[in-house]
Amino acid sequence: MSHGSSAAADPRAVSQARAQLNVLLAGPRGFCAGVRRAIDAVEDALERFGPPVYVRRAIVHNLAVVRSLEDKGAVFIQELDEAPDGAVVILSAHGVARSVTDEAQRRELRYFDAVCPLVAKVHREVLKHHRAGRHVVLVGHAGHPEIVGSLGQIPEEAASVVANIEHVAELRLEPDTGVAYAIQTTYSVDEADEVVTALISRFPDIVGPASSDICYATTNRQAAVKQMVPQVDAVLVAGESFSSNANRLAEVARAHGCASVQLIAEASQIDWRSLEDCRSIGITAAASTPEASVAAIIAALRERFDITVEEFGEASEGTMFKRMKVDDHAQAF
């Protein structure tokens, strides 16, 4: 009896063809210089002082990063009163109100302010405008840690927050009030342009920053997504749902014509059904998302599709900030 036909019928000998999928990796993506600097500050403090090192709020908006630092001995707290006297404390990259650093000094905590240098620039602008007698309009999302920190540089009544042109129309300021504006560094570039145009229309003498407050990383990542969208059927944004810049990347993809956009913190959150008919997918990552998260998403795609992976755009930005000096004497930024 011939065994040839039975061997041919053996399902193990029949390769299952998988759908082809082209994956474009938007560049730049992932960690920006400010995020890298803040993470380095926590790791350097752990090496210099040993655990525990207390970190006020999430050092950056990414749970994988937070868990990794916790495993190394970082203790994340909401407020400084949770840290014992004399503790080593790191303040997050988003910046804090002056009341927070005042409390740290009053309690003689060994604190290190890991505020992103570009956020610190906004803080200086806000304070400068206030001292010049101007009402400060902050363009951004009320309640975001960065906006909370910027508001906390000056008295509460000296500033307002607007997120859209409707908010601009609702501003109630006394006639002849001098006005200035500053922008959340992770805000949507397109939305910020609309809001600033509305502010200038309403307050022709308004004073703005000499150079854009929106950081290079936000601008570059959003620009890369805009350029990538026409080339793909779907976009996956690697980032947390509570990350401002991750949400802005998803919004930009939708606004520029991508009908299938997913914001996912990890590969297990992928909605596979929505990708069934796709032949090309774009992947980007928020400025607080580690490249390991992108690699995990690619691995998950490879399990279901026959994929090719291409870099789209510039993978590296070449921007670096000076590493924080974490020693016995350093304190504020």
Query: Does position 223 have pLDDT exceeding 80, yes or no?
Result: yes
Per the confidence metrics, is the pTM higher than 0.85? yes
State mean pLDDT over 222-232. 98
Run of H or E including 155: none
pLDDT of res. 315: 75
- From the candidates 146, 191, 240, 251, which is the catalytic residue? 146
At 62 the three-state DSSP class reads: coil
Residue 132's contacts (CB-CB under 8 Å, 6 or more residues apart) are 178, 180
Run of H or E including 74: strand 74-77
Angstrom distance (rounded) from CA 142 to CA 50? 36
Q: For this structure, is 240 an active site residue?
A: no
Query: Does position 306 have pLDDT exceeding 50, yes or no?
Result: yes
pLDDT of res. 16: 59
Query: Can you read off the two tokens belonging to residue 248?
Result: 């802005």
Q: Give tens-digit pLDDT for 59-106.
A: 999 999 999 999 999 999 999 999 999 999 999 999 999 999 999 999
Within 10 angstroms of residue 309's Cβ, the number of other Cβ atoms is: 13
Domains plus CATH for the chain? 20-31+216-313 (3.40.1010.20), 34-115 (3.40.50.11270), 118-202 (3.40.1010.20)
